[in-house]
Amino acid sequence: MNLQSTIMAHAVKMKKTPSGWHTINCPMCTTQGHARNDSRHRGGFKFSDVTSYHCFNCGYKASFSPGRLLGKKMQSLLGSIGVPDQKIKELQFEAMRIKDEEPEVVKRYQTVTDFSEKRLPSNAKLIDEVIHGSYNPPADAVFVYKYLMDRGLDFYKKFYWSPDPFMKMNKRVIVPFYANKKIVGYTSRIIAEEENVPKYYSDVQPGYLYNFDQLHNDRKYVIITEGVLDALGINAVSSLGNKLTQGQIDVINSAGKTVIVCPDRDKSGSSLIDVATENNWYVSFPDWKSTIKDCADAVKLYGRLHTLESIIESATNNMAKIQIFKKIGVTE
């Protein structure tokens, strides 16, 4: 399908940036309530496995990946840059043909969200069942349970505990990873940190994003956090670290939503900020107390609703602001 070449042939005065975006004066701003259309090249296409568009003036977003139909937002965008109606219909039919007749193409672009089922650690059970299903629950399980209660994690019923001593699993809280309603991996966090024992022990399949089903809800935005507990607290998506693969980035962009990254307030957070700026995503630096290091801390202090509102309200894509906050608000 020649969507990229069609866009390149019709977009006027397109410029390529060092980060790989092809920028144009966005033709959609007036349709989004602005008095006039963009004149500062605030609209941008990015071409990889997924063709995505984002305007940083009006917020218009559209995307397409092989194996999917050509959405109305992409059709409107194509018409606005001068692609003839007949050509748009041809692209529509070609997208339908690929979806129906070339399953190997569809499969190739779906592998990042197609994960095999996995088992949790030996004898793992929901921690709520372990604690309340016995008159004398194991001391290690009680210790983990108290940690969750102290953190104000009222969604602890989703977590597991295992008596397995391997990697000190009996001293960890286990968070399962789900995709398509099946367990596809897990991460575990040790409660009392010990020397030469990793804080986290995980079984993660390549390309997985924790809570990635949130990419397809009714929200206009998706929030990306580093940690699983951060994501759970505000129903966000976790990158499971401070880096993202291109496949994960494509999955996020394909959702067609405004992407807001809320990094941890430490040196590792700066790496996720770099990913955000490279992809023209928003970055959020809420005005939280200096003792707060991540979203999970904020939820414990402020509550879920206030934390979520503060993240959305402070989100910015202004590069100068991001660099200032990165220097003084994260890496110190």
- Residue partners of 305: CB distance under 8 A and separation at least 6: none
- Count of the separate structural domains present in the chain: 3
Of the two residues 155 and 194, the one the predictor is more confident about is: 194
What count of residues does the chain have?
Answer: 332
Confidence of residue 329 (pLDDT cuts 50, 70, 90): low
Looking at the structure, do residues 48 and 151 belong to the same domain, yes or no? no
Q: How many angstroms separate the CA atoms of 60 and 74, rounded? A: 10
Of 100, 76, 98, the C-alpha closest to 88 is 76
Looking at the structure, do residues 96 and 197 belong to the same domain, yes or no? no
In a domain, 119, yes or no: no
Give per-residue pLDDT as tens, 245-262.
Answer: 777 887 787 777 889 999
Give per-residue pLDDT as tens, 4-54.
Answer: 999 999 998 899 887 778 999 999 999 888 888 899 998 999 887 778 888
Looking at the structure, do residues 257 and 315 belong to the same domain, yes or no? yes
Of the two residues 88 and 110, the one the predictor is more confident about is: 88
Per the DSSP assignment, residues forming a β-bridge with 221 are 258
In a domain, 16, yes or no: yes
Q: How many angstroms separate the CA atoms of 205 and 274, rounded? A: 23
Using the predicted structure, report yes or no on whether residue 113 has a pLDDT greater than 70.
Answer: no
Q: How many CB atoms neighbour CB 170 within 10 A?
A: 19
Give per-residue pLDDT as tens, 170-216.
Answer: 999 999 998 878 899 998 988 887 888 887 788 888 778 888 777 77
In a domain, 265, yes or no: yes
User: What per-residue confidence (pLDDT) applies to 50?
Assistant: 79
Domain that holds residue 171: 125-203
User: What per-residue confidence (pLDDT) applies to 332?
Assistant: 45
Looking at the structure, do residues 262 and 193 belong to the same domain, yes or no? no
Question: Cβ distance 317 to 280 under 8 Å?
Answer: yes
Question: Cβ distance 105 to 66 under 8 Å?
Answer: yes
Domain stops at, among 203, 228, 250: 203
Looking at the structure, do residues 220 and 323 belong to the same domain, yes or no? yes
pTM of the model: 0.62
In a domain, 94, yes or no: yes
Question: Cβ distance 232 to 254 under 8 Å?
Answer: no
Looking at the structure, do residues 19 and 67 belong to the same domain, yes or no? yes
In a domain, 162, yes or no: yes
Question: Cβ distance 159 to 173 under 8 Å?
Answer: yes
Question: Cβ distance 265 to 291 under 8 Å?
Answer: no
In a domain, 120, yes or no: no
In a domain, 294, yes or no: yes
Give the three-class secondary structure for 207: coil
Domain stops at, among 167, 184, 203: 203
Mean pLDDT for the stretch of residues 136-151: 89
CATH of the domain at 218: 3.40.1360.10
Of the two residues 59 and 14, the one the predictor is more confident about is: 14
In a domain, 61, yes or no: yes
